[in-house]
Amino acid sequence: MTQEGIIEQLQEYLDQHLKGMRGAVSQEPYRGDFFKLFKEAYHNNYFDDSSRPILTADALTGVLCTRWYTEDQELNEKKELLMDQLFSKWYEWRYAWDHYE
């Protein structure tokens, strides 16, 4: 999967969470769906500085804010909360894999 494919899938999953079509980000099987995207990014070296776009949690937050935010501040706050929940896991997964794989 390309970087763009991962970003698009992340956005789709997050949209589904906002619409109530999925449970909590930390709940299975949804957490596993996000982990599969993380694993794909990790194994394709999309965290490397030379990757464009890079798929670190910080970079993804920036990309999704640009693409996903609207004029609706209340909705944007909900999106930010979802991203915080997801990307805290993204950081944890990366730390674990960087140190133990």
pLDDT value of residue 56: 95
From first to last of its 101 residues, the chain has per-residue pLDDT tens of 999 999 999 999 999 999 999 888 888 999 999 999 999 999 999 999 899 999 999 999 999 999 988 899 999 999 999 999 999 999 999 999 999 86
Which residue type is seen at 25? V
Which residue from 63, 67, 65, 60 is spatially nearest to 87, judged by alpha carbons?
60
- The answer to whether residues 16 and 33 touch, using CB atoms and an 8 Å cutoff, is no
